[in-house]
A and B are shown apart, each in its own frame.
Chain A
């Protein structure tokens, strides 16, 4: 099993550009989520999904969109990148809604100029 995979590992964008961060898991997990990590701020939840076709907002959803068309994939879209979105992004998955071990992907380091 590959676990949770994320692409790309690194990305540099210019202000106003859009892009999609990819996340996939092969563990048949229903629950998937996106976090951003900034220095001194810990991990903050952006969006999460409890199953295919169901998504909801976390603590910091503005500027991001998600969709969940399959159990395996949970892409995160930046609509119009801003320097404030410079961060490390982690995708995670688990068996159930937050009551089980979260498996994290390796992360995507995004810089917005």
Chain B
């Protein structure tokens, strides 16, 4: 099955700093989804990327899908304490395969 590697595993940032998490696959992906899980909560869908080179923005969040459709990134500009949580990428196919996530801590 598909495997996706996500880095870093943890990231601590000062409030106002930027944050990026990366998702990589050795195979070409059909599409990729991103989820956020707040502490003690359940994963919540953020976005789906389908096209090669696709870039989508949601306020301070920017999502990119690589030209070869083997990698993706999530960038948060000027982090806030509300951004705390774990961010997962997930490769969609006949199943959904999740990366191990990046846990973001924001120091006020």
Residue interface bits A65-90, CB-to-B below 8 A is 1, else 0: 00000000000000000000000001
Is B100 a contact partner of A33 (Cβ separation < 8 A)? no
Q: With the chains together, A43 CA to B86 CA distance in Å?
A: 12
* A103 sits at the interface (CB 8 A): yes
Residues of B within 8 A of A10 (CB): none
B45 with A103: CB separation less than 8 A: yes
Q: Mark A82-113, 1 if CB is under 8 A from B, else 0.
A: 00000000101000011111111111000000
Query: Helix, strand, loop or mixed for chain A's interface?
Result: loop
Stretch among B52-60, B61-69, B76-84, B91-99 lining the A interface: B91-99
Shortest CB-to-CB span from B83 to chain A, Å, is 19
Docked complex Cα distance between A92 and B6 (Å): 22
- CB-based contact A102/B45 at 8 Å: yes
Q: Is the CB of A97 within 8 A of B42?
A: no
Asked if B98 contacts A106 (CB within 8 A), the reply is no
Check if B48 sits within 8 Å of A45, measured CB to CB: no
Count A interface residues, CB 8 Å.
24
B43 with A90: CB separation less than 8 A:
yes
- Of the residues A35, A48, A99, A106, contact of B31 by C-beta under 8 Å: A99
How would residues 16 to 40 of chain B score, 1 for a CB under 8 Å from any chain A CB and 0 otherwise?
Answer: 0000000000000011010100000
Which A residues are in CB contact (< 8 Å) with B88? 42-43
Q: Are A45 and B95 in contact (CB under 8 A)?
A: yes
Using known A-B contacts A40-B9, A42-B88, A43-B88, determine if residue A101 contacts B98 with beta carbons closer than 8 Å.
no
Beyond A58-B95, A99-B31, 13 additional contacts (C-beta under 8 Å) are A33-B95, A40-B9, A40-B100, A42-B98, A43-B98, A59-B97, A90-B42, A98-B92, A98-B94, A99-B30, A103-B45, A104-B43, A106-B42
Interface residues of B (CB under 8 A from A): 1, 6, 9, 30-31, 33, 35, 41-45, 48, 88, 90, 92-101
